Amino acid sequence: MSNRKLIVVESRFAGNIENNIKFARSVCQYIVRSGDNPYAMHIFYTQFLDDNVPGDRSAGIECGLQWSQFADEVWFCFKHGDFKMSSGMKLAYNRLVETDRMGIARFKVFMEDGTHYDMVQNEIDFSIQ
């Protein structure tokens, strides 16, 4: 049995989708290379569900949130200088609050050079973008 942590990756999808997917992939790559197992639902479910179709979007989000219950950690990932949560990230955050699992939340900021640092929760802009 592996002792690799199961880490859910929460980051933006909508907006500049190509750049946002690239960012999420780089975070997942970092996690794998660090010896853990990432899961980025917004990359996975959008391969076969259409984020622009409300029923598909809500189904994908609910599926991802269900998987999140097995996570050892949930990483809320931001690009340096952009600390706004998307509506999907906010749903994941609220689910952790509702299920009393905020202890597994981590807030990470990734720099252009691939390095990252932990941020404190009060630096996050919780207004939906």
**Domains recognised in the chain with CATH numbers:** 6-123 (3.40.50)
Residue with tokens 């949930």: 74
Buried b (16+ CB within 10 A) or exposed e, 52-70: eeeeebeebbeebbeebee
129 residues of the chain, pLDDT tens digit each:
579 999 999 999 988 999 999 999 999 999 999 999 999 999 999 999 999 999 999 999 999 989 988 999 999 999 888 888 888 999 999 999 999 998 888 888 888 777 888 877 666 666 655
- Indicate the DSSP class of residue 14: S
Torsion of CA 117, 121, 126, 129, to 10 degrees: 10
Supply 128's token pair.
Answer: 């939906």
Residue 122 has what pLDDT? 61
pTM (two decimals): 0.89
Residue 23 has what pLDDT? 93
Packing angle, helices 87-98 and 54-68, rounded to 10: 40
Residue 29 has what pLDDT? 95
Q: How many CA atoms lie within 13 A of 49 on its CB side?
A: 19
Q: From the centroid of its chain, how far is CA 73?
A: 10
CA 43 to CA 16: how far, in whole Å?
Answer: 14
Residue 43 has what pLDDT? 94
C-alpha distances (whole Å) from 86 to each of 10, 17, 43, 90, 113 are 9, 12, 14, 6, 23
